[in-house]
Structure 1
Amino acid sequence: MNSIEQTHHRRRQWEAALIFITALWGWSFVAIHDALNGMSDSAFNACRFLVAAVAMLLVAAARRRRISKIDLVQGGMAGMALYLAFLFQTKGLKFTSASNAAFITGLAVIFTPLLLFFWRHVKPERRQVVGIFLATIGLALLTLKGLSVRWGDLLVLMCAASFALHIILLSRASKMADAFNIALIQISVVGLLSLAQSVVLGEWAIPPAGAAVNAILVIGVLGTALGFYVQTKAQVASSPNRIALIIVLEPVFGGLFGYFLAGDRLTLQNWIGAALIVAGMLITEIRLTRDRSEPSTHP
């Protein structure tokens, strides 16, 4: 296996791992919905990310990992963008419908190439544009039930922009610093800022035993600690546009887990939307598989 084949093999491995993590994030919709019945969103985010940070700190201590200045700067920047994304999303949900929030959050797949174009002058390729277009239509069919302009919609729109910024910052950071350290730092930043937010707003509370604690442990360790580490590693081997298309599968998995675990029922429109999202990914994959001789378009 030559170096080019090894590169593509590594890319496929990390993208497959990220798809698994995205499925876990889809399942977390059901778990978080139950957990939030007993605690505030800011307190849940604080517990979730701090549990993840502690888990990663234990691993770092066992391996005697050292954190460099570059790790701190790059991880801190990515953590700020990630915190803003969760802040705008949870606050926006108070003023808009869940379907609106799901669709608008998914617009991160549109913001990613747009931010890359205006910020770093990276022009999206034709197949990427087609894939993003199909994925966006699919996301609308999967989650949208009438769109109305609300203050919450604008907040969630800022959430989508923050997620796109996080993808881009993480893509650059993962090529400059240690992937594990970046994941640890950004998770710690979100946890500490969420804790400060919950304390300042008087929303902090010890999570009640049961669904909340179980969700915090599973989502904190697997969905957050492992999840953002895998995402960081995937960004080394893949492009921000492909990462955005993979992450947009989250509502597909959320719908499936909702169907089997929460009794939700998908309509024909929902299934068509899910199929269009997968089609968007396949179109991007066909281009990358056929044109392996082309230079990388990674920013």
Structure 2
Amino acid sequence: MKQERIKQIVGIGYVNLATLVWATNMVLGRLLKDSMGPITMSAARFFIASIIFAVMLRQQPLKERRMDKDYRLLAAMALTGIVLFSPVLYLGLRYTTAVNSTIINGLAPLLTGLFATWLIKEPMSRRQISGALVALFGVLFLISGGSWSFWKTAQFNMGDFIVLIAVAIWGLYSVISGKVMHYRSSISATAFSTFLGLPVLCLLAVWELQTIPVNLDVTLIVSIIYLGIVPAAVGFYAWNAGVARLGPSGAMVFYNTLPLYGALLGFIFLGEPIGISHIIGGLLIVIGGIWGARNPAKKEVIDCGD
């Protein structure tokens, strides 16, 4: 029982590390939007991440360095998490607001729970459902400032539908990765899915460069190196390590910490104010996440060995 509790705590730490570094990715992505296209940016950062994963994979046992019968699942991870998610999300952000996209991302835990129930027969527990709903309410409270009048003026558009597709894609990625990590470590799963998705991203980047050229400078180079090492390599590895310990539904309960960390980073680095709505919303997100992760759906989780 104690070992299981430690595994849950470590898993919570991993998924929160992932959402924290992804929050920095969102800030940098906004700053670099005029310097590089979204597909080219994704290809560049995953190229750097693939080098890191290749080095890490060399330290793993021989069976972890080979693709086996799960190659189709690894290819599905590559398609959903590496190739499709970021470009579809960036496309949606061209037609909608950051506020709308944050609201829609709040549906991610519930969508993932439905996918997990449907595809891998891992039902969400009542605790996970209630935790996801509390965290979602925290997201809505955070972005609305606790004001009912906010919802009277909120407008939704086609970009919102595209962002919803991106959220569904991420939910599928989390479920598939949870399935893969029944058979291999999170390092191996993350590495091979990156290797398989990178060539497709590079081909798409070549096509994108015809219309969106790169404005190369020192700031962009340093930023891309950071994006490759931290949000791509560290973030994806940490997320999959968390999924391996908490399950897809348990990990996704904490996905809603993204806007919370975004607000904190905005306060620290950009001097953006934090009000009572941020505090209340943040507490609800944290409480919902911890509550939902305390009792994940019962299933066997592999010892990740990483």
Q: What TM-score comes out, normalization by structure 1 length?
A: 0.87
Where does residue 67 of structure 1 map in the other structure?
A: 66
Tell me if structure 1 keeps the 8 A contact 2:181–2:244.
yes
Question: Is residue 194 of structure 1 aligned with residue 191 of structure 2?
Answer: no
Match of 1:88 in 2: 88
Identity %: 19
1:7 corresponds in structure 2 to 4
Structure 1: runs of 5+ lacking an equivalent: 289-294
1:214 aligns with 2:216: no
- Which residue identity is paired with 1:53? S
Alpha-carbon deviation of 1:100?
0.7
Deviations 1:174-225 (A, max 9, x none): 1123422211122234433332222223256456223322222122112211
Question: CA distance change for structure 1 residues 207 and 169 in 2, over 3 Å: closer, same or farther?
Answer: farther
Name the residue aligned to 2:288: 280
Displacement after TM superposition at 1:105 (Å): 2.3
User: Aligned partners of 1:215 and 1:86: how far apart in 2?
Assistant: 17
> Structure 2 length normalisation: TM-score?
0.85
User: Can you list the C-alpha shifts for 1:233-254, whole angstroms capped at 9, x where unaligned?
Assistant: 2222212122001222111111
Equivalent residue, structure 1, for 2:298: 296
Q: Are 2:43 and 1:41 equivalent residues in the alignment? A: no
Do the aligned partners of 2:15 and 2:238 also contact (CA within 8 Å) in 1?
yes
Q: Aligned residues, how many?
A: 290
- Farther-moved stretch of structure 1 (219-228 vs 192-201): 192-201
Q: CA RMSD in A?
A: 2.4
**What pairs with 1:96-245 in structure 2 (closer than 5 Å)?**
96-143=96-143, 146=151, 147-201=154-208, 202-203=210-211, 205-206=213-214, 208-245=216-253
Alignment partners' CA distance in 2, 1:63 and 1:264:
43
User: Helix, strand or coil for the counterpart of 2:272?
Assistant: coil
- Report if the CA contact (8 A) 1:43-1:205 is conserved: no
Which stretch shifts more, 90-99 or 24-33? 24-33
User: Does 1:58 find its partner at 2:58?
Assistant: no
In structure 1, what residue type is equivalent to 2:125?
Answer: E
CA distance in 1, matches of 2:5, 2:90: 37
Residue-by-residue CA offset, 1:112-156 (whole Å, 9 max, x unaligned)? 112223334443222211111111111122235653231111100
Contact 1:75 1:186 in 2 (8 A): yes
